[in-house]
């Protein structure tokens, strides 16, 4: 899957998409699930998300909410960064919604906007992915901005 924004092309590996889709809330009793997005930004402006964290014991979730374990997420992000000599970086958040065509809630927007404003990062943006039953929402939030832009899927 590929999305364009500004000079960048955002891509997700098939493995990452498969893992996220395996957590879709296709049954009424399934809780929201989520984690962090990890990947690389290349000099040709490609961004490839090729790793994600998955739900863990310290996360809290229910049918309509997901709260990840902040300490565990930081350990995962720091470990990936160190193991890759600084190439793999934290690029955002993902979680599921129990709706066919998901859209971010006010809480989702506040979270990703707060993360980009409060984090020390090498890039000026973070992504928000919401996995729905039929479709996904992919958005980007920029440092210094108070909104999330939805990205459109493109085929080239």
| Residue span of the structural domain in which 141 resides | 2-154
Residue-level pLDDT at 20: 98
- Rounded to the nearest angstrom, the gap between the alpha carbon of residue 24 and the centroid of all alpha carbons in its chain is 14
What's the Cα-to-Cα distance from 16 to each of 22, 38, 52, 113, rounded to whole Å? 10, 10, 7, 23
Count of domains for the chain: 1
pLDDT tens-place string over residues 15-29: 999 999 999 999 999
pLDDT above 90 covers a percentage of the chain that reads 90
CATH number of the domain that residue 103 is part of: 3.40.140.10
For the entire predicted model, the pTM comes to: 0.95
Taking alpha carbons only, the member of 87, 75, 16, 8 closest to residue 49 is 16
Q: What would the pLDDT profile of 84-122 be if each residue is shown by its tens digit? A: 999 999 999 999 999 999 999 999 999 999 999 988 888
Question: For residues 137 and 128, what is the distance between their CA atoms, to the nearest angstrom?
Answer: 8
Mean pLDDT (the chain) is 95
* 25: its two tokens: 């809330």
- With DSSP H G I counted as helix, E B as strand and the rest as coil, what are the percentages for the chain, rounded to 5? 20, 35, 40
124 counts as catalytic: no
Instruction: State the Cα–Cα distance between residues 127 and 36, nearest whole angstrom.
Output: 10
pLDDT in tens, 34-44: 999 999 999 99
The length of the chain, given as a count of residues: 156
Which residue in the list 15, 32, 82, 99 is annotated as catalytic? 32
């Amino acid at each position: 899957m590929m999305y364009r924004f500004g000079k960048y092309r955002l891509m997700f590996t098939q493995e990452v998409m498969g893992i996220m889709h395996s957590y879709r809330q296709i049954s009424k009793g399934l809780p929201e699930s989520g984690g962090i997005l990890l990947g690389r930004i290349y000099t040709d402006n490609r961004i490839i998300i090729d790793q994600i964290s998955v739900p863990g014991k310290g996360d809290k979730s229910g049918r309509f909410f997901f709260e990840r374990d902040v300490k565990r997420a930081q350990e995962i992000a720091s470990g990936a960064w160190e193991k890759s000599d600084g190439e793999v970086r934290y690029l955002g958040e993902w979680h599921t919604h129990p709706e066919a065509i998901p859209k971010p809630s006010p809480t989702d927007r506040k979270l990703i906007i707060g993360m980009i404003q409060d984090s020390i990062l090498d890039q000026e943006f973070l992504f928000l992915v919401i996995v729905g039953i039929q479709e996904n929402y992919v958005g980007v939030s920029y440092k210094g901005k108070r909104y999330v832009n939805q990205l459109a899927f493109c085929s080239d």
